Amino acid sequence: MRKKRYRADENKYSILTLDDDPIMTETIQSYFQPLGYRVDIENDPYAAIERIRVGNYDILLLDFLMTPICGDQVVEQIRTFNQDLFIILLTGHKSMVPPIRTIRALDIQGYYEKSDRFDQLELLVESCIKSIDHMRTIKAYQKSLAELANALPEIYSFRTADALEAPPILKIAKRLWTCTSGFLAAWSETVPRKLVRYAFGKKFETLDGMTPQQLLGQIEAMEETGLCMRTLLQDTDGNAVGVLALETQKKPGFYQERLFEIFSRQCASALENNALMTRVKTGYLEVIQALRLMVDAKDIYTRGHSDRVAYYAVQLAVALGKEEKFCERVQLAGLLHDIGKMAVPDEILLAERRLTNEELDVIRKHPQYGCSILSAITHFREIVPIVRSHHERYGGGGYPDGLIGEEIPEESRIISIADAFDAMTSTRRYRSKMTFEEAAKQLRDNKDIQFDGAMVDVFLALIPKLPKEEIALTERTELFAERIFKL
């Protein structure tokens, strides 16, 4: 039984309903509009295609049997210019539904058999909305990460509190978070026990002469509203070097708070006057660390998996005689190879049942989702092809591109072996872990089928030689992360 009926925020989601029967489109509009959706109607398939081309719709509800063209033909034309639209087919009878292969090829989210009740259609729309919300969050976080990464050189161009030009920093903050007011206060080297004040908005009064600890007291009232993000900026010795505070229009979510922590650390490092390149690298690794933790947070059973894949992959690359830059790419790609799973809904990723073919198709898109996230950040672009291809099979039949043999990037072939080995030797919710001998047999049996056979031989010869304390450390996720990141 449903505990609560979903109601959309007013006009937050837009639906276009297409049917050559005006009564049906008007009925759907009258049903969904009171639920908070913006619903437009169209009775001409060609006109609907043009409305979607120039408009901004989230969901299309369309009849399958129409004139002059049917619903699948409408979708086929739409998919040539819009891959993001969620589509639900309406049919008069199940026997009229197009073949499953057509539904998959056109990326149609579902179909609904027409009746005088719309509760099942409402559930399908709600399912689409959840996916839309998830993708909007991912895209917003992706955009913010890209802006943060691209802003690092600008942040690190500031050396001391006296030379600091804070308005650019606050400008960056306003870009990353929708802020109504904020300030950056930093100790001045020339004026003891005074604060250099940079602020925007009408919220903050004169800050000169106040210590960072006193400033924190000033914004406690703001924190009670849940609309404030603030932090005490500290150097590596834990000494206070300033305060950064922002007041947002909406309560910050998990992603926004994580970004704020990273951003704040970059500001503190700039104030500490460390070398530019050292701090850029620190910020770069913190972004990686944040992404790694995001993936780990999705599933307790795979926590630490990316760390171990990176470890095994680097060991294999070294054993193959690869140069340092190659090994660094392998390590980074190993850490972030599953970042695309952030875009996979929890009800699919964490399911404790056999997945449907449609759900498996969603899982298999995670390399492409990962590419979308990583390609937005300049520092990560060189590993995009590696992450994209880590589920290709050496003998063919892998995804997403069906590459074969040497067509698959060498780094991806390495990560594929490390990924499979760690998955097999780790406990998952649906099975116990394999022994080394059992996992080794699986790798051997799939030489030149799933894996590069020559690499499998090197890997299986390598594993018994690895220091036992290193292998043990991989089970202690945080300590192992410290070793990898050298923090």
Assess if residue 339 is contained within a domain: yes
HSE of 401, CA atoms in CB hemisphere, 13 A: 16
Query: What residues pair up with 62 in beta bridges, in sequence order?
Result: 18, 89
Q: What pLDDT shows up at residue 326?
A: 96
Based on the domain organization, do 97 and 172 belong to the same domain? Answer: no
- Residues 374 and 265 placed together within one structural domain of the fold: no
Same domain, residue pair 237 and 323: no
Tokens of 145: 């990460």
CATH number, residue 56: 3.40.50.2300
The answer, as to whether pTM is greater than 0.85, is no
Cβ neighbourhood burial of 42 (10 Å; 0-12, 13-18, 19+): buried
Instruction: List own/partner pairs for 377-383 with CB under 8 A and 24 or more apart.
Output: 377/145, 377/146, 377/149, 377/150, 377/287, 378/149, 378/150, 379/149, 379/284, 379/287, 380/332, 380/336, 382/329, 383/329, 383/332, 383/333, 383/336, 383/411
In a domain, 182, yes or no: yes
Is 4 domain-assigned? no
- pLDDT tens string 2-52: 445 555 555 689 999 999 999 999 999 999 999 989 999 999 999 999 999
The Cα 19–Cα 48 span in angstroms is 10
Q: What distance in Å separates the CA atoms of residue 383 and residue 296, rounded to the nearest whole number?
A: 20
Please report how many Cα atoms fall inside a 13 Å half-sphere around the Cα of residue 5, on the Cβ side: 8
Mark whether 312 and 461 lie in a shared domain.
yes
With a CB cutoff of 8 Å and minimum separation 6, the contacts of 165 are 158
- Flag whether 285 is in a domain: no
The residues pairing with 2 across neighbouring beta strands, listed in sequence order, are none
Pair of tokens at residue 453? 């056979």
Q: Indicate if 89 and 209 belong to the same structural domain.
A: no
Shared domain for 227 and 187, answered yes or no, is: yes
Domain that holds residue 409: 295-485
Q: How many domains does the chain have?
A: 3
Query: What's the chain's Rg over C-alpha atoms?
Result: 26
Query: Measured in Å, how far apart are the chain's first and last C-alpha atoms?
Result: 50
Beta-carbon contacts of residue 237 (< 8 Å; ≥ 6 apart): none
Helices (H) and strands (E) in the chain, counts: 21, 9
Per DSSP, 117 falls in state -
Per DSSP, 239 falls in state -
How many beta carbons lie within 10 A of that of residue 221, not counting itself?
Answer: 9
pLDDT per residue rounded down to tens, the chain (487 residues): 444 555 555 568 999 999 999 999 999 999 999 998 999 999 999 999 999 999 899 999 999 888 899 888 999 999 999 988 999 988 876 666 677 777 888 888 887 888 878 888 999 999 899 888 888 877 777 777 777 777 666 665 554 444 444 556 677 777 777 777 777 776 655 445 555 556 666 665 555 556 656 666 666 766 666 677 878 777 777 777 777 888 887 777 777 787 888 888 777 776 665 434 545 566 666 777 777 777 767 665 566 888 889 999 999 999 999 999 999 999 999 989 988 888 888 888 887 788 888 998 998 999 999 999 888 888 888 999 999 999 999 999 999 999 999 999 999 999 999 999 998 988 776 668 888 899 999 999 999 999 999 999 999 999 888 876 555 445 444 444 444 444 3
Whether 461 is in a domain gets the answer yes
Where do we find the tokens 């997403």? Answer: 400
* pLDDT, tens only, 217-227: 666 766 666 67
Q: Do residues 70 and 160 both lie within one domain?
A: no
Closest CA to 255 of 136, 87, 363, 354: 136
Amino acid letter for position 397: G
The string of DSSP codes covering 51-98 is HHHHS--SEEEEESS-SSS-HHHHHHHHTTT-SS-EEEEEESSGGGSP
Task: Write down the pLDDT at residue 120.
Answer: 87
Q: Are residues 413 and 460 in the same domain?
A: yes
| The domain boundary residue, chosen from 134, 165, 182 | 134
The reply to whether 73 and 184 lie within a common domain is: no
Domain boundary among 85, 100, 134: 134
* Contact status, residue 199 vs residue 175, Cβ threshold 8 Å: no
Q: What is the CATH number of the domain that holds 327?
A: 1.10.3210.10
Q: How far apart are CA 165 and CA 184, in angstroms?
A: 10
Same domain, yes or no: 19 and 162 = no
Q: What is the pLDDT of residue 9?
A: 59
pLDDT, position 483: 46
Q: How far is the C-alpha of 214 from the C-alpha of 225, rounded, in Å?
A: 19
* Angle formed at CA 284 by CA 280 and CA 289, multiple of 5 degrees: 145
Kindly state whether residues 475 and 381 are assigned to the same domain: yes
3 state DSSP class of 46: helix
Find residue 183's DSSP bridge partners.
199, 245
In a domain, 449, yes or no: yes
Tokens encoding 215: 């400033």
- Does residue 287 form part of some domain? no
CATH of the domain at 258: 3.30.450.40
Which residues sit opposite 17 in a β-bridge? 41, 61
Instruction: To the nearest 10°, report the CA torsion of 429, 434, 440, 444.
Output: -60
Residue pair 33/143 in contact (Cβ under 8 Å)? The answer is: no
Tell me: do 329 and 438 sit in the same domain.
Answer: yes
